[in-house]
Each structure stands twice: as C-alpha cells, then as structure tokens.
C-alpha cells in the first residue's frame, strides 16, 4: 500500500515533527512522552482543556490546540489510545491553577487511560474533571454495548467548552457547558471504503465496491449495517433519520449542521451531502443557523462522512462564534 511515510513505526512522531514546524506560533510539541500544548501554556487562571486519543483522526486533536479551544492534545499510536503518562504530563503542563478538563471520546481504551491519568493527576493535586463524549447514534446505548462512541461531535464540544474557558468560566462551569453540548449533539457516519492503518498495510475491513457501511465509527470499526450503495440522498436520509429521531430534533429547532469528511472524500462531495442534509432539515422546518463542512475528525484514508446536528441556544451560538485560533479552526481574531 502506497503511503507518504518513512516507516510505519515512526508515523506519529514524524507527523508531530511536521506539525511543530508548521505551527510554531500556535503550539509547542513535547516528545517522550508525546503531547502538544498551546504556545503560551499554562494560561494563568484559565481552566485547561486536554483531549487526546489514537492518531489517524487529524486534525483532531492537535489541530484544535490554541486560543479559544484546547490547551493540550495527547496523540496515541494510530487508532490506539495514548497511555496515562503523556496524558498526566499534558495535564500538568496546562494547569494554570484553575483545574483541567479532560474531554474523552467514549471508547473503552480512551476512557480507561484518561481515568488512570486523572487519578494520577489528582494524586499530584491537579484538579481534574472529565467529560465523556458519546454523540454517535449508530450504537445503541444499553447494557449490551460499551455505549455510544464519541465521534465528530467532539469538535463541537472542544470548540464551545474552549470558548467558555477562555471567557473565564470556572472548571465546573466549563464541564457543564461541555456536557450540554454533548447532550444536544447527535452524529452518524457512513463509510464507502476502509482505512489502511500504516503498520497493518491492509484495509481495516473488507467491503466491496458496491457496498457501504452505515453507522461506521472513526477507527474503521464496522457500524450498524452493510447495505448496497445508493445515490447520496438515500444515504444521507439513512444518517439523518436516526439523528433526528434520537434527540429528537423538532420543528422550529435551531441547529448547527456539521458535515465531516472521513479523510478521503473530496470536499465537492461533502457539499453535496450538506445540500441533501439541509433540504431534509428544511422539510422539517428546522432552522440551520451555523454550519461546518470539512475534514475534522478523520479516519486516515477512509472514504465517507459523518453528519452531526447540534441543537443551539443563544449561549451556544455566542460560544461557537467566539474567537478561535488553532491550526484547523480559526476565526474572529
């Protein structure tokens, strides 16, 4: 499999080196253990936001480190949660005295490693709160699964909680805003192809040219069902219906519509998905007042997309519009 890499074993480190070189004004990249912090970390008196997870989802999370969003990102190996040590070091590095919020995607490995790091941080007198993001409606939340996964909604949590921290909210308030976003966000994805993990060198799952996987996660782990490909409007309907019914989103709701690329789907197609989703919302008299389209939570080179809806109110709109300056999101500054 052709890849623009040196060695499958050094992909994460090599990429971090490039990230550091590209964005010296925004971030500092630490190695051994590996983590990325804001150039001005720790920010005195501000709640620090730390997120992390397996690599391969870029720009998540390092691309969201900077003013108005994350204070640190902790990348693990490709599709593998980081271990507690770098999470602990990153947590200490961004503690400006107001405590640290861990934003954790609901995957067993991420949860276990962040939990351990939070316990270690508490032992060193750093106040830590954790918010687990679980916006993926493809997984039934029941006793019979590990629960809903944290997927693209994570970006919205990080942006909005980051803005709350930047305006001076305390740790409990920032955590409350993060939970509010998670409670009001719903996502679902579709894959047309499987990603190729560099050290595996083969696609993460087998899927034929005429099939799609509905309800895909962000690690190429299979989703809800495998169906025959159909034109985009049908596929978007299959994502939108469970999303809309789950919260539920109802007529006269005000929403943010986020169409996220999984890495190898061109923007020209993502905008067609956006158009299809927007027209479904129009039919239901749901107002779209904010939007985001692009590759933000990717799955290496997987083709496909996810759709996220966030139910907005005045507070969330103001926090969404607040200035942000990171490698992958920047406005207002």
Partner 1 sequence: MDGLGTDWAIDWVRRSAAVVGEHRAELSELDRAIGDGDHGENLDRGFRAVLAKLDGASPETPGAALRLVATTLISTVGGASGPLLGTAYLRGAQAAGDAERLDGTAVVALLAAARDGIVARGKAESGDKTMVDAWTPAVDAAQQALAAGGDASAVLSAAADAAESGAEATVPMVARKGRASYLGERSAGHLDPGARSSAYQLRAASDAVAEG
Enumerate the active-site residues: 57, 219
Q: Cβ contacts of residue 50 below 8 Å, gap of 6+?
A: 70, 71, 72, 73, 74, 87, 90, 91, 94, 100, 101, 102, 103
Q: Would you count residue 113 as binding partner 1 (CB under 8 A)? A: yes
Residue pair 232/244 in contact by the 8 Å Cβ criterion: no
Strand partners, 55: 78
Q: Would you count residue 32 as binding partner 1 (CB under 8 A)? A: no
Tell me: cis bond preceding 311? Omega within 30 of 0 counts: no
Strand partners, 263: 302
Q: Please, which residue, 216 or 256, has the CB nearer to partner 1?
A: 216
Among the residue ranges 43-51, 60-68, 102-110, 247-255, the one whose residues contact partner 1 (CB under 8 A)? 102-110
Among the residue ranges 12-20, 173-181, 196-204, 307-315, the one whose residues contact partner 1 (CB under 8 A)? 196-204
The 223-262 contact track toward partner 1, x by CB under 8 A, reads x---------------------------------------
Q: Please, which residue, 66 or 76, has the CB nearer to partner 1?
A: 76
Q: Would you count residue 130 as binding partner 1 (CB under 8 A)? A: no
Q: Would you count residue 221 as binding partner 1 (CB under 8 A)? A: yes
Q: Would you count residue 99 as binding partner 1 (CB under 8 A)? A: no
Q: Please, which residue, 41 or 194, has the CB nearer to partner 1?
A: 194
- What is the rounded distance in angstroms from the CA atom of residue 80 to the CA atom of residue 122? 24
Among 13, 20, 141, 205, binds partner 1 (CB under 8 A): 205
Q: Please, which residue, 222 or 294, has the CB nearer to partner 1?
A: 222
Among the residue ranges 62-70, 72-80, 123-131, 231-239, the one whose residues contact partner 1 (CB under 8 A)? 72-80
Q: Would you count residue 66 as binding partner 1 (CB under 8 A)? A: no
Cα dist from 226 to 56, 81, 191, 211, 284, whole Å: 23, 27, 10, 7, 27
- What is the rounded distance in angstroms from the CA atom of residue 101 to the CA atom of residue 121? 12
Among 99, 150, 153, 220, binds partner 1 (CB under 8 A): 220
Overall residue count recorded for the chain in this entry: 333
- What is the rounded distance in angstroms from the CA atom of residue 300 to the CA atom of residue 181? 26
Among the residue ranges 126-134, 145-153, 271-279, 319-327, the one whose residues contact partner 1 (CB under 8 A)? 145-153
Query: Nearest approach, Cβ of 321 to partner 1 (angstroms)?
Result: 35
- The DSSP 8-state label assigned to residue 65 in this structure reads B
Tell me: cis bond preceding 248? Omega within 30 of 0 counts: yes
Q: Would you count residue 116 as binding partner 1 (CB under 8 A)? A: yes
Other C-beta atoms closer than 10 Å to the C-beta of 280 total: 19
The closest alpha carbon to 157, from 135, 126, 124, belongs to: 135
Residues that bind partner 1 (CB under 8 A): 54, 76-85, 107-109, 112-113, 116, 138-140, 143-146, 149, 197, 199-200, 204-205, 217, 219-223
């Amino acid at each position: 499999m052709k890849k623009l890499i040196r060695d499958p074993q050094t992909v994460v480190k090599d990429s971090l080196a490039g990230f550091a070189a590209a964005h010296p004004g925004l971030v500092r990249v630490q190695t051994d253990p590996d983590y990325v912090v804001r150039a001005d970390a720790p920010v005195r008196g501000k709640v620090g936001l730390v997120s992390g997870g397996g690599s391969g989802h870029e720009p998540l999370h390092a691309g969201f480190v900077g003013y108005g969003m994350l204070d640190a990102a902790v990348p693990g190996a490709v599709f593998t949660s980081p271990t507690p040590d770098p999470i602990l070091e990153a947590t200490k590095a961004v503690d400006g005295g107001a405590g640290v919020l861990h934003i954790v995607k609901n995957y067993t490995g991420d949860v276990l490693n962040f939990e351990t790091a939070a316990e270690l941080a508490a032992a060193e007198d750093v106040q830590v709160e954790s918010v687990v993001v679980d916006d993926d409606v493809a997984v039934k939340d029941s006793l019979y699964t590990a629960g809903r996964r944290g997927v693209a909604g994570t970006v919205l949590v990080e942006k909005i909680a980051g803005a709350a921290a930047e305006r001076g909210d305390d740790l409990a308030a920032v955590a409350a805003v993060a939970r509010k976003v998670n409670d009001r966000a719903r996502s679902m994805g579709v894959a047309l192809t499987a990603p190729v993990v560099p050290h595996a060198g083969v696609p993460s799952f087998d899927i034929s040219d005429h099939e799609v996987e509905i309800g895909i996660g962000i690690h190429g782990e299979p989703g809800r069902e495998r169906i025959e490909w159909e034109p985009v409007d049908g596929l978007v309907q299959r994502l939108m219906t469970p999303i809309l019914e789950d919260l539920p989103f109802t007529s006269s709701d005000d929403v943010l519509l986020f169409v996220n690329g999984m890495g190898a789907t061109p923007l020209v197609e993502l905008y067609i998905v956006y158009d299809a989703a927007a027209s479904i919302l129009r039919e239901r008299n749901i107002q779209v007042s904010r939007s985001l389209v692009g590759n933000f939570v990717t799955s290496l080179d997987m083709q496909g997309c996810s759709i996220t809806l966030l139910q907005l109110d005045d507070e969330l709109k103001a926090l969404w519009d607040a200035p942000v300056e990171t490698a992958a999101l920047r406005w207002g500054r």
